[in-house]
Structure 1
Amino acid sequence: MARRPIFQEVSDTQPAPQPPSGGMIDAAPKGDRRGIRIWLIVLYVMLVAMIMLGGATRLTDAGLSITEWKPVTGAIPPLDQAAWEAEFQKYQQIPQFREVNPDMDLAGFKAIYYWEWAHRLLGRLIGLVWAAGFLFFLATRRIPTGWTGRLLLPGLLGAVQGAIGWWMVSSGLTGTLTSVASYRLAIHLGLAFAILGLIVWYVLQLSRSEAALMRARRAGEPKLFGMATGLMHLAFLQILVGALVAGLDAGRMYTGWPTMGGEWFPAAAFDMTPIWHNFFENPALVQFIHRMLGYLLAIYGLVVFLKSRRSPHPVTRGAFSAMIVMMVIQVGLGIMNVILASPLHAALTHQLGAVVLFSLIIRARHNARYPYETSVRGTIR
C-alpha cells in the first residue's frame, strides 16, 4: 500500500464518517401521541359531565328511579304510556316511594327518571368512545410503545365502575334505606375521580415526547413532587368524605359558618352505636370531618405552594399558582354551599370546583416531576 502524503486532499467521493445511531433518545417517535391525546381529552370532558350529572341525580333523589340494570336495552327509555306505567309501578315497590314520595304522580316520576336515565346513557357513551378509540389505535398500530396496557386500564376501570354503580343503586331498592348507601356512593365517586386523574396524567405525559420527558425528569424536583403527591391524596380523601356528605344530605342539616348550627362541635356527633357507624352514617360527624379536612387541605396546599416558589422553573411555579388560586375559590364555594343549605346550583358548582382543583393538583405534580426546560430565551416546550 502506497504511503499517503501528509497534505493530500481527501476525495469528495469518500463518505464522511457517521456517528452511531439507534439510541433510544434519538430514535424517531412512535405512535400517534397527538391523536391519542385528543381522544383522552374528549373522554375527560365526558367524565366531567358524568360526574356533574351524577351529582345532580343524587341531589334530586333520582338515583333510584330505575330499579333494574339493563346495560343494553336500558338505553331506550319508555316509549308509550303503558311502558311508563310499568316503570312507575316498579318504583312504587321500593322504600323511597313509600316513605319519601307517596304522593308522586307519573309526571313527577318522569322528571326524576330522566335524570337517572341520562346519567346511565352518558356512562354507556363513555364506554363506547373509549372502546372505539382504543380498538382504532390498536388496529392501526398507532399506540406508542409501552402504552397499550396503560390505555386499556381506564376501560377496565370503567367496566368496574358500571358494576359498582348498580351495587350502589341496589342498596336503596330493598330494606330500610330511602336513598343509596352513602359509603357505596363514596366508592362510586372515588373511582370516577381515580379514572379522571389517570386520564389527566396520561394527557400530560402525551403532551411531550418520551425523549423530552426523560430529559425533564433529570431536572425534576423530588421533594416538591412528594409534597404534591401527598396533597393529591389528601384532596382525594376530601372528595370521598364529600361524597358521604352528599349521600347523607349532611350539607342541608347543619348550616352556618364557622359554627355548625351554633355549635363548634356538634353534640350529636357520636349518637350512633357502634361508634364506628358515626364516621360513615352520622350527618353531624361526617360534615364536621369534611369541614376539618377542608381546613387541613387548604393549609397544606399553602405549604406546598410556598415550597413551589423556590422552583427554578417558571412553568412549575405557574402550575402551583393556578392550583392555590383554585383552592381558595373552592374553600369559598364550600362555605357558600353550607350557608345556603346546599341548593342544587351551589352544590354542583362546589363539585365542579373539586374536579378543577383535583386536575390542577395533578398538573402541578406532573410539572414538579417533569419540569419544562428553560434557557436564556425562555421556556422550551
Structure 2
Amino acid sequence: MTTMSRSFGRSDLANGAHRDVAIWLLACCFMVAVMVLLGGLTRLTHSGLSMVEWEPIVGIVPPLNEADWQLFFAKYKQTPEYLKVNAGMSLADFKGIFWLEYIHRVWGRLIGMVFGLPLLWLAFSGRIGKAMIPRLVGVFLLGAAQGGMGWFMVKSGLVDNPAVSHFRLTAHLALAFLIHAWMFWLALDILADHRPSPRRLHGEAGGTMSWLAGLTILVVITLLFGGLVAGLKAGLIYNTWPLMDGAIVPRDLFPEGFISLFEDIKTVQFGHRTLAEVTIVVALVGWFRARARLGAQTPAAIHAVGIMALVQVGLGIGTLVMVVPVSLASAHQMGAMALLTLCLWAIHDLRRRI
C-alpha cells in the first residue's frame, strides 16, 4: 500500500469523490501545461513586456475603448523595449503583442480560480481527508508564488535592458514545472489508492527504478538549462549539430570560470546541449536494459519515456538548426513537460509493481 493510501483513506473519499479529486487535479495539470505553452509563445513573440503593470484583480479587465488603448500604449512607450527596440510601433502592432500577454495573465488567474474554489468546497464539505489538505494548500501557495515570480521577472525587463533576467525566467519556468509535477503525482496517488494492485514484476526491477530516478534528475537539470538558454537567447547562435562552432567541444568556453556556466551565452548553450545528449544516451540505454530485464512485462510507461526522449531530442536539434522557429521552440518546451510527466508516471507505476 502506498504512502498516500495510508494518509488518504477510502473513508475520506466516499461516494466516488476520489475520482472527482483526481480528475480535477489532472484538469489543473492540463491548464498549467497550457499556461507554459502561452508563456513560451509570449516570450518567443516578444509580447511579455507589453503590460507594464501588475494588477491581480482589476488587471483582468482589458482595454475597452480607444482611450483605454491609448493609455496602455502610452505606458508601454515609456519602457526600454519600446525606446530601444520598437520605437515607432503602431497601435495596431502594440495590440498584437498585448493580447497574447493579456491572455497569458488571465489564464493564470483562471487556474487560481479553478484550483482554489474547488479546494475550499472539498475541504469544507469533508470530501478530502485532513492529510491531503496541507498538500493541496501547498500547491495553491506555490501557484500564488508563481504569479509573484512572473511579475518579478517582467519587472527586470522594464528598467534599463529590454530583456527579462534569465535567472528569473528560469525560476518562473521551474515553478510551473514543479506545480504541474506535484499535482500530477497527487492525482496518480489518489487513483492508485483506489485501483487493484497491478501484477508484480519479476526480474531486476530495482535497477530500472534507479535508472528512472536518475533520468528524471537529468531531465530536470536539462530543462533548467533550457530556461537559461531561452532567457539569454542562446539558441540564436551556433546553429549546427553535432558540432558547435566547428568542434565537438568548442574553444573559449568558461571565459569567466564556473559562473560562465550560467551567464556566458556560448557556455550555457554548450551546457544545455551536452546535458541533452547525456540525457538521451541515459534514456535509450536504460530503456533497452529495462526491456531486457523485464521482457514482456515492461510497463507501457517505460516505453513512453523512451519514445518521448527520442522525440524531445529531435525537437531540440530541429529548434537549434532552424534558428528557433516559434512552432518548433514551443513544441520543444512542451516536449520537456511531456518527458518529465512520463518519467513521473513511469516511476509511480513501477514502484507499485516491485
Task: State whether TM-score is above 0.5.
Answer: yes
Structure 1 CA distance, aligned partners of 2:89 and 2:197? 58
**Conserved? CA contact 2:205–2:294, under 8 Å:** no
The aligned amino acid for 1:166 is W
Task: Identify the match of residue 236 of structure 1 among 220, 224, 231.
Answer: 220
2:318 maps to 1:362: no
Structure 1 CA distance, aligned partners of 2:274 and 2:32? 28
**Conserved? CA contact 1:241–1:289, under 8 Å:** yes
Higher relative contact order (CA 8 A, sep 6+): 2
Superposition pairs for residues 301-320 of structure 1, below 5 Å? 301-309=283-291, 312=294, 317-320=299-302
Superposition pairs for residues 1-381 of structure 1, below 5 Å? 29-31=11-13, 32-144=17-129, 146-175=131-160, 177-209=161-193, 221-271=205-255, 274-309=256-291, 312=294, 317-371=299-353
Structure 2 CA distance, aligned partners of 1:238 and 1:138? 37
Deviates more, 1:315-324 or 1:79-88: 315-324
**Conserved? CA contact 1:221–1:369, under 8 Å:** no
Structure 2 CA distance, aligned partners of 1:214 and 1:30? 23
Deviates more, 1:304-313 or 1:337-346: 304-313
**Which residue number corresponds to residue 379 of structure 1?**
none
The aligned amino acid for 1:208 is A
The aligned amino acid for 1:250 is A
CA drift of 1:33 comes to: 1.1
Does the C-alpha gap of structure 1 residues 142 and 222 become closer, same or farther in structure 2, counting only changes over 3 Å? farther
CA drift of 1:63 comes to: 0.9
CA drift of 1:306 comes to: 3.3
CA drift of 1:287 comes to: 1.1
CA drift of 1:285 comes to: 1.3
The aligned amino acid for 1:198 is W
Does the C-alpha gap of structure 1 residues 101 and 268 become closer, same or farther in structure 2, counting only changes over 3 Å? farther
Structure 1 CA distance, aligned partners of 2:35 and 2:250? 34
Give the secondary-structure state (helix, strand or coil) at the position aligned to 1:93: coil
Structure 1 CA distance, aligned partners of 2:117 and 2:293? 41
TM-score (norm 2): 0.90
| Cα offsets for 1:128-174 (capped at 9, x unmatched) | 00011101111211103521112222111001111111111111110
CA drift of 1:276 comes to: 4.4
CA drift of 1:316 comes to: 5.0
Once superposed, which parts of structure 1, at least 4 consecutive aligned residues long, lie more than 6 Å away? Answer: 213-217
**Which residue number corresponds to residue 3 of structure 2?**
none
Structure 2 CA distance, aligned partners of 1:235 and 1:137? 34
**Conserved? CA contact 2:146–2:172, under 8 Å:** yes
Does the C-alpha gap of structure 1 residues 162 and 361 become closer, same or farther in structure 2, counting only changes over 3 Å? same
The aligned amino acid for 1:285 is T
Structure 2 CA distance, aligned partners of 1:160 and 1:311? 43
| Cα offsets for 1:57-97 (capped at 9, x unmatched) | 00111111111110001111111112111111211112111
TM-score (norm 1): 0.84
Determine what percentage of the aligned residue pairs are the same residue: 37
Unaligned runs of 5+ in 2: 1-5
CA drift of 1:307 comes to: 3.9
Structure 1 CA distance, aligned partners of 2:174 and 2:127? 31
| Cα offsets for 1:318-376 (capped at 9, x unmatched) | 2111100110111111111111101101101111111111110111111121129xxxx
**Conserved? CA contact 2:308–2:339, under 8 Å:** yes
CA drift of 1:311 comes to: 5.5
**Conserved? CA contact 1:220–1:371, under 8 Å:** no
Does the C-alpha gap of structure 1 residues 367 and 286 become closer, same or farther in structure 2, counting only changes over 3 Å? same
CA drift of 1:213 comes to: 6.6
The aligned amino acid for 1:240 is L
The aligned amino acid for 1:342 is V
Unaligned runs of 5+ in 1: 1-23, 373-381
Structure 2 CA distance, aligned partners of 1:371 and 1:93? 59
**Conserved? CA contact 1:316–1:368, under 8 Å:** no
Structure 2 CA distance, aligned partners of 1:280 and 1:127? 32
Mark the structure with the bigger radius of gyration: 1
CA drift of 1:225 comes to: 2.7
More helix by share: 2
| Cα offsets for 1:36-72 (capped at 9, x unmatched) | 0110111011011000000000011111111111000
The size of the alignment, in residue pairs, is: 344
**Which residue number corresponds to residue 377 of structure 1?**
none
CA drift of 1:257 comes to: 1.4
RMSD between aligned residues: 2.5
The aligned amino acid for 1:352 is M
